[in-house]
Structure 1
Amino acid sequence: MAGRVGLTADRLVRAGAELADEIGFEHVTLSELARRFDVKVASLYSHLRNSQDLKTRIALSCLEELADRAADALAGRSGKDALGAYADVFRDYARQHPGRYTATRFPLDTETALASAGVRHARMTRAVLRAYGLAEPEQTHAVRMLGSVFHGYVSLERAGGFSHGPPDSQESWERIIDALDALLRDWPTP
């Protein structure tokens, strides 16, 4: 089949990420990917072990892509400016690439997670928090809080949870960043 020419694991992962944006990450399978390339599923097995392997590779690729965007957004920023820019990266990525964003939430085993760009995300979050002077273990609590707020808001917004009345979700987003900044500046001590 002509579609087989040029297949590589990287090309399949890129196509899988595009497919995730089109049909949803949860629907990405080797069968769907084979249809995209007009090949039999068996031809993909020389590049990918199974659908789990494909999804893991897509997740790793999307985590890297998101980390690169976050690093660019954080360059030269600190404090509330960095906090807002960092938060916006997640929200914008979810809007532009809904399937890829979902892929960044895909569960990875510990070894894979520790070798992924997820570690970069944690370091960048801690870099944002430097301006707030939080020491451990409070810094870890703050990292978890920010992740929960960013991802929770994005998930609710994507599900249409804020589209039924005023105020506009952008206004709420900005107020949440203001509130997070105030909380981080006056972090409660145990």
Structure 2
Amino acid sequence: MARVGLTTEGLVRAGAETADEIGFERTTPAELARRFGVRTASLYSHVKNAHDLKTGIALYALEELADRVSEAVAGRAGKDALIAFADVYREYALEHPGRFAASRFPLDAQTAASSAGVRHAQMSRAILRGYDLAEPHQTHAVRLLGSVFSGYVGLESAGAFSHSAPDPQESWTEILNALDALLRTWPTRS
């Protein structure tokens, strides 16, 4: 029987907050049970297991991030849209490191297809329409952007840029300018 006050949504939200505090990998049903002051078994009427909890947190993070990106890029095109898109990813990763890690959690094909991950891909492609990229180049560019954004914020979050000049913001700005230039002049021959 479900414990009064515990809901799947509440557990996922608490899991997202816990992931930001202690890391996504360390966020487990046992850890949430400890935080709620209940036995772990009390959570299993809301989540099946640790994988189910992590999937819920991933879906929550993808949705939250997609909403932020959508709001930031609305009405923008080209370089302005690219910068708004990238800045939201970076800000979200720095503000919510556990949730950002969760957004990269591997989902099964059916779950991924019905997740906000689809919105992320659609927004990436919408930005790239401003650069007039056709397939398969558009897919390559989407993968490049994801790699750059995830890689940069991963390194920045780990403190990799804190020991030398220039400031990480200066590098970020230069990287986005370089991406814009690359996208405008993308090589279209294989």
TM class by shorter chain equals over 0.9
1:93 corresponds in structure 2 to 92
1:124-176, CA deviations, whole angstroms, 9 ceiling, x for partnerless residues? Answer: 00001111000111101100000011101011111111111111110000000
Q: What does the per-residue CA deviation read over 1:80-99, in whole Å, with 9 as the maximum and x for residues that have no partner? A: 00000000011000111111
Counterpart of 2:129, as a letter, is: R
What's the CA shift string for 1:43-63, capped at 9, x where partnerless?
111111001100000000100
Percent identity, please. 70
Displacement of 1:5 after TM fit? 2.5
TM-align CA RMSD:
0.7
| Residue 155 of structure 2: aligned partner | 156
> Which residue of 2 is the match for residue 166 of structure 1?
165
Note if 1:84 corresponds to 2:83.
yes
Q: What is the TM-score with the length of structure 2 in the denominator?
A: 0.97
Q: What is the CA–CA distance in structure 2 between the aligned matches of 1:188 and 1:104, rounded to whole Å?
A: 30
Q: How does 1:1-190 map to 2 (within 5 A)?
A: 4-190=3-189
Pairwise CA distance, 1:189: 1.7
Q: Which runs of 5+ in 2 are unaligned?
A: none
Any idea what SS the aligned residue of 1:140 has? Answer: helix
TM-score, normalising length: structure 1? 0.97
Equivalents in 1 of 2:17, 2:188: separation in Å?
45
Tell me how far apart the structure 1 counterparts of residues 46 and 72 of structure 2 sit (CA, whole Å): 34
The runs of 4+ residues in structure 1 deviating greater than 2 Å are: none
Q: Deviations over 1:62-119 (max 9, x none)?
A: 0000000000000110110000000001100011111111100111111111111100
* Secondary structure of 2:165 counterpart: coil
